[in-house]
Amino acid sequence: MAKSTKSQWDGFSLKPRKEMPKGLWVKCPGCEQTLFQKAVTENMDVCPQCNYHFRVSADARIKYLADEGTFEQILANLVTADPLDFSYKGTKYKERAKAAEKTAFGKEAILVGKAFIKGRAVMLAVMDFNFLGGSMGAVVGEKLVAATEKAIEESLPLVVVSASGGARMHEGVVSLGQMAKTSAALAKLDDSGGLFISVLTDPTTGGVTASFAMLGDVIIAEPQALIGFAGPRTIYQTIKIELPEGFQRSEFLLEHGFIDMIVHRKDLRSEIARLIDYCGKKS
């Protein structure tokens, strides 16, 4: 009798499996479940199981916040002049900024323009973490100031959605100067009786937290967002004190009076519209 050549592996392929199409599934960092990407996107990039708020791109943020098709962007083509002619690890900052345009929605870490939120006209500024970590350089500062001045001129509420790693170190002291520049413009908005609603999303840190993000008349945060100035390790190395877990999250900050409210992403539009009406800034 001929020996059977059939092995237990017949029918199994040793070829590598086809990769799962990119972006079809996503693992939730909150509940660690594997989720269907489409279900997450349709839920405003919030986990349907545990409400974990994923970071969103600037275009998605505008889509979730503004009335459809109402965002009219200004200064869309403003790009950095690279004041220090800066290079890092052999790559020029200007080249990095150019490359960042591919991962981000626009040409810089912030998009500003006029929009409507539930029928209320606003000046809207949305930061984009996909552009060099949402860092604030001269262009971010300039665009934010332009939005603030327009809000004063047209007597519109200013809504700024932050998502930032802080000041852009590629621009050195020029980036730090934006902290004072944006704060001064917001003081003028305040003097004119204008309304500034600041929305903090994950993450809002460094020079952005230390300037305009914390100057809102009303400060809203998304659930569980990382909000702080320096990171826990830097704080420990500086003051040699271990701070409690979660001390830089929205919930802790609300409990300690640093922010006014925590709002789920799906409720942001209604809450902002309600605040505008409450403050008498309905256009």
Whole-angstrom distance, CA of residue 40 vs CA of residue 191:
42
- Compute the least distance from the CB of residue 93 to Zn ion, in Å: 37
- Compute the least distance from the CB of residue 94 to Zn ion, in Å: 39
- The Cα-based distances of 258 to 162, 209, 239, 253, 267 in angstroms read 15, 11, 21, 5, 21
Compare residues 50 and 84 and give the one whose CB is closer to Zn ion. Answer: 50
Compare residues 51 and 73 and give the one whose CB is closer to Zn ion. Answer: 51
Whole-angstrom distance, CA of residue 166 vs CA of residue 203:
9
Binding site for Zn ion (CB under 5 A): 28, 30-31, 47, 49-50, 52
67 touches 118 (CB < 8 A): yes
Element (H, E) at 141: helix 138-153
Cα-Cα-Cα-Cα dihedral of 24, 28, 31, 35, to 10°?
-10
Compare residues 59 and 251 and give the one whose CB is closer to Zn ion. Answer: 251
- Compute the least distance from the CB of residue 39 to Zn ion, in Å: 11
Compare residues 30 and 172 and give the one whose CB is closer to Zn ion. Answer: 30
Compare residues 28 and 115 and give the one whose CB is closer to Zn ion. Answer: 28
- Compute the least distance from the CB of residue 83 to Zn ion, in Å: 42
- Compute the least distance from the CB of residue 57 to Zn ion, in Å: 19
CB under 8 Å to 259, separation ≥6 — which residues? 200, 219, 220, 221, 227, 250, 253
